[in-house]
Structure 1
Amino acid sequence: MTGERPIGEDDLQAFVDGRLGSSRHEAVRAYLDDHPALADQVKLEIDLREALRARLAFKAAEPVPSRLRIANLMAAQRRPSWGRNAAVAAAVAGLFIGTVLGAAGGVWWVGSDHRAGTSVAGNAIAAHRIYVGERLHPVEVPAEQEAHLVQWLSRRVGKPLTAPNLTVQGYRLIGGRLLPDSGEAAALFMYENAGGNRLTLYARSGGTEEQTSFRFESRDDVSAFSWIDNGLSYVVTAKAERAQLLPIAETIYRQLEATSDPAKSRL
């Protein structure tokens, strides 16, 4: 492997997505063999990707909309320029969404919901930065009043909420608070580990989408995974590497799924 560039984040993500050439694929596999902890995280991400692909397979199986068929695209080219430009722009946007859905195994951000998801994640990261540094008043309601906290925030957000149990991941709930988000109410649950590092789960009523896959972003030293499920936008944020935050986000996702469908908690 002399002369090859080091294995990086892009290689690991391409490995998860199945986009590596054979030689690079083998190089990444050998690297993961030497780093079992990272290999476990990569396997979790692959499993999650496949699970989400299966759950959103119906979307990829839908027929191509008539407006995106070749004959209709060609007809659009013969229209006046003002109408043709709008039609072509819509077609390109639709084709891009379809391509992402097929390649990423269920990444489903559509139109305004994509922008809404991005806005919620940005607001969640901003709230995380503001409140995790607070030592005297990081939360409005402490964990000792968890039942009241969850009931209060659920009522204000307008949907049933849950404070996930992250004890196995080394984090304990320290409480939560109510926040504004673009005219809507948002809930912020805060957790802390034995080392004093804090993690937040942000939730607010989402857009029209019922479910999307995870979307990752990193701003400076803060990482976040966001998704929509059952009409709620969620963002889990921490000062952590992507591979460290993913299993926590997955745990939260599974707990929330089990709560929304009690039958799943017995699986």
Structure 2
Amino acid sequence: MNSLPITEADLHAYVDGVLPLARQAEIEAWLAARPEEAARIAAYRSQNLALHQLFDPVLDEAVPPAIRLPERPAWWSGAAKRVAAGVLIAVLGGVAGWLARGTAMPGGADSPGQVLLAKAGPAAGLARRAAIAHVVYSPELRHPVEVGAEQEDHLVAWLSKRLGKPVHPPHLGKLGYDLIGGRLLPGQSGPVAQFMYQDGAGKRLTLYVSTEQGGAADTGFRFAQEGKVGVFYWIDGDFGYALSASANRGELAAVATAVHAQLE
């Protein structure tokens, strides 16, 4: 092949669909001869799709009145537009920063259907990160977990060592969900664990376990809905837990109750 070498940037541009057709064809030929790289690129595409499914509904939400621009007066000029645009960027940046920190918003923390960014307290960030991890990894066919359930003892020892506290996956066979395995993930300030389960129909749920809420007050169950993903989350002692699935609230509540009972 007489073309330029294939770089990681080329592969990401290919995943994003922004390459010229000629370069796209070169990369497809390159991938056809490298099945492992082709599988990696396919995984990137599935992650992109999962993230779009999670966050695209937010794009259709109305702009909050607090940050909506007023009607433009007659004297609105090009210079004034540029100044106002700079101010708006600063305001939006500040609002986004406060939302990411979990600043309390009207409506109550337990109201279903709220965007996770708008929920208050340390548990809200836990729920949001758990939902993102769920939509990224639950669609995976070849590599949904790092360590499979057949090595559960190793999985428990490894994750407990990395989190610095004993963790173990609850057993949900009576509810129709079998453990697939688990993986280590980066949290907000350190490692977190994710356990994945699957029922006979192929539906998956994940339990996200974090020790980053140390010192936070214990909470009861709280529910958040982000797109098609429901999350029951709570803080108990040194641990924060979040159970995520594309399931209705009642079904997820039953599983969360069983999980809580076993973890206690």
Given the two structures, how large is their TM-score scaled by the length of structure 1? Answer: 0.53
Q: How does 1:160-179 map to 2 (within 5 A)?
A: 160-179=166-185
SS in 2 for 1:168: helix
Q: Pick the aligned partner of 1:117 from 100, 118, 123.
A: 123
Query: 1 CA distance for matches of 2:233 and 2:165?
Result: 18
- Count residues in correspondence: 149
- In structure 2, give the amino acid aligned to 1:173: L
1:143 maps to what in 2?
Answer: 149
The unaligned stretches of length 5 or more in structure 1 are 1-99, 105-112, 258-267
Query: 1 CA distance for matches of 2:208 and 2:130?
Result: 6
8 Å contact from structure 2 (residues 205, 245) kept in 1: yes
Deviation at 1:182, TM superposition (A): 1.1
Deviation at 1:213, TM superposition (A): 0.4
8 Å contact from structure 2 (residues 122, 216) kept in 1: no
- In structure 1, give the amino acid aligned to 2:208: Y
Query: 2 CA distance for matches of 1:154 and 1:121?
Result: 21
Q: Pick the aligned partner of 1:230 from 237, 249, 255.
A: 237
Q: How does 1:65-214 map to 2 (within 5 A)?
A: 114-205=120-211, 206-209=213-216, 211-214=218-221
8 Å contact from structure 2 (residues 214, 237) kept in 1: no
8 Å contact from structure 1 (residues 210, 231) kept in 2: no
Instruction: Note the aligned Cα RMSD (angstroms).
Output: 2.0
Query: 1 CA distance for matches of 2:218 and 2:121?
Result: 15
The unaligned stretches of length 5 or more in structure 2 are 1-107, 111-118
Deviation at 1:210, TM superposition (A): 5.1
Query: 2 CA distance for matches of 1:252 and 1:175?
Result: 16
Deviation at 1:115, TM superposition (A): 2.7
Query: 2 CA distance for matches of 1:185 and 1:153?
Result: 9
Query: 1 CA distance for matches of 2:191 and 2:230?
Result: 23
8 Å contact from structure 1 (residues 116, 207) kept in 2: no
2:91 maps to what in 1?
Answer: none
Query: 1 CA distance for matches of 2:154 and 2:173?
Result: 20
Deviation at 1:214, TM superposition (A): 0.6
SS in 2 for 1:151: helix
- In structure 2, give the amino acid aligned to 1:158: G
Higher helix share: 1
Query: 1 CA distance for matches of 2:218 and 2:153?
Result: 27
Query: 2 CA distance for matches of 1:210 and 1:236?
Result: 19
SS in 1 for 2:175: coil
8 Å contact from structure 1 (residues 140, 175) kept in 2: yes
1:240 maps to what in 2?
Answer: 247
Please tell me whether residue 220 in structure 1 is matched to residue 220 in structure 2: no
Identity %: 45
Query: 1 CA distance for matches of 2:217 and 2:148?
Result: 31
Rg larger in structure: 2
- 1:170 to 1:230, Cα distance in 2 relative to 1, 3 A: same
- In structure 1, give the amino acid aligned to 2:184: L
Query: 1 CA distance for matches of 2:155 and 2:234?
Result: 23
Deviation at 1:125, TM superposition (A): 0.3
Per-residue Cα deviation, 1:113-144 (whole angstroms, up to 9, x for no partner): 95321111101000000000000000000000
Q: Which runs of 4+ in 1 moved over 4 A?
A: none
Per-residue Cα deviation, 1:196-254 (whole angstroms, up to 9, x for no partner): 00000000102313521011000111100000112100000000000110010000000
SS in 1 for 2:173: coil
